[in-house]
Amino acid sequence: MTSTAEGFGQLITAMVSPFDENEDLDYQQAGLLAKRLVKNGSDSIVVSGTTGESPTLSTEEKIRLFRTVHDAVDGKAKIIGGTTNYSTRESIELTEEAAAYVDGYLLVVPYYNNPPQEGLFQHFRSIAASTDRPCILYNVPTRTVRNMEASTVVRLSEISNIVGVKEASGDYEQISNIINSTPGDFHVWSGNDQDTFSIMCLGGFGVVSVASHVVGNLIKKMIVATTKGDTEEGAHLHHELLPLAKALFPPVSPIASPSAIKSALNLTGFNVGGLRLPLLELPAEAKAALNLLLEEYEVDD
């Protein structure tokens, strides 16, 4: 199976995992959410990523979730499986098991065990070698402790099925170095909604978004304008989106990433339930402020 980074599109949503009142996965609601995201501009959907609370999901739950979303979108969007953790061997096993339901993979920097740069290279090279599907790296040092340096990304970009990186370091110099030093068909997606416009102006390709759960159409407009070179309109839409993007990543982040967007969805009438421990619900005060902010936007339905 062959694919390129472009095939995943510019607007990728890191989908939440809906739970019912017993904190069991609500697969029916997950399918409905996936359809909603596609309707509102998502080109691809990341399933069982950080926003999907992947560390709290079992392997069996992840596989069923991949299958559910795959069936729901019915080829109208690409499915990207979050199949990696801090164990290379476990990551390879899940990557192979998920192959029937996903079009590619999001490979996050291993968390907790804090490997050196050579360990990162060997980890990702081994996982990529286990599949013929395209892989996107994910650098998010606020969650993993270890930053994946530009030089490591450049080395990995030489592997044929590693097609891009989701960059959430917030380090624009590092991101510029990656864009300038990797092949033209290797793409950089912003890993933070508030960074998307800036990264695209540097030559980035798009975003792996959280805010697209509720304002996907607005984000797509910003991406299209910026891609066409209308940076004035892109900047205008960026500033319009910025308050919401910041509200979805408040100071209590990283635990607030899934809790804030789940609260936003619930407040707009699309129920995705709560969170599994050790994550917590958004505090009442923050939820009330978020509710007021959402009233200022034309929220997707």
Mean pLDDT of the chain: 95
What is the tally of structural domains in the chain? 1
CATH of residue 177's domain is 3.20.20.70
Asked if residue 2 has pLDDT above 90, the reply is no
Mean per-residue pLDDT, 63-71: 98
Residue 179 domain-assigned? Answer: yes
Q: Could you read off the pLDDT of 241-291 as tens digits, one per residue? A: 999 999 998 655 444 579 999 999 999 999 999 999 999 999 899 999 999
pLDDT at 251: 56
Instruction: Quote the domain boundaries for residue 18.
Output: 5-235
pLDDT at 3: 46
Residue 16 domain-assigned? Answer: yes
Spatial separation of the C-alpha atoms in residues 187 and 203, rounded to whole Å: 9
Residue 91 domain-assigned? Answer: yes
* Residue positions annotated with a catalytic role: 138, 166
Q: Could you read off the pLDDT of 90-134 as tens digits, one per residue? A: 999 999 999 999 999 999 999 999 999 999 999 999 999 999 999
Mean per-residue pLDDT, 23-49: 98
When mean pLDDT is compared across 8-22, 105-119, 186-200, 249-263, the lowest value belongs to 249-263
- Give bridge partners of residue 206 from the DSSP assignment: 189
Q: Could you read off the pLDDT of 202-232 as tens digits, one per residue? A: 999 999 999 999 999 999 999 999 999 999 9
Residue 281 domain-assigned? Answer: no
pLDDT at 1: 39
Determine how β-strand 135-139 pairs with β-strand 162-167.
Answer: parallel
Residue 200 domain-assigned? Answer: yes
pTM of the predicted model over 0.85: yes
Percent of the chain beyond pLDDT 90?
92
Spatial separation of the C-alpha atoms in residues 105 and 153, rounded to whole Å: 16
Asked if residue 156 has pLDDT above 60, the reply is yes
Residue 44 domain-assigned? Answer: yes
Structure tokens at 173: 């110099």
Residue 23 — left, alpha, or beta (φ > 0 → left; ψ -120 to 50 → alpha)? left
Residue 298 domain-assigned? Answer: no
Residue 161 domain-assigned? Answer: yes
- Which residues, 6 or more positions from 240, have their beta carbon under 8 angstroms from its beta carbon? 218
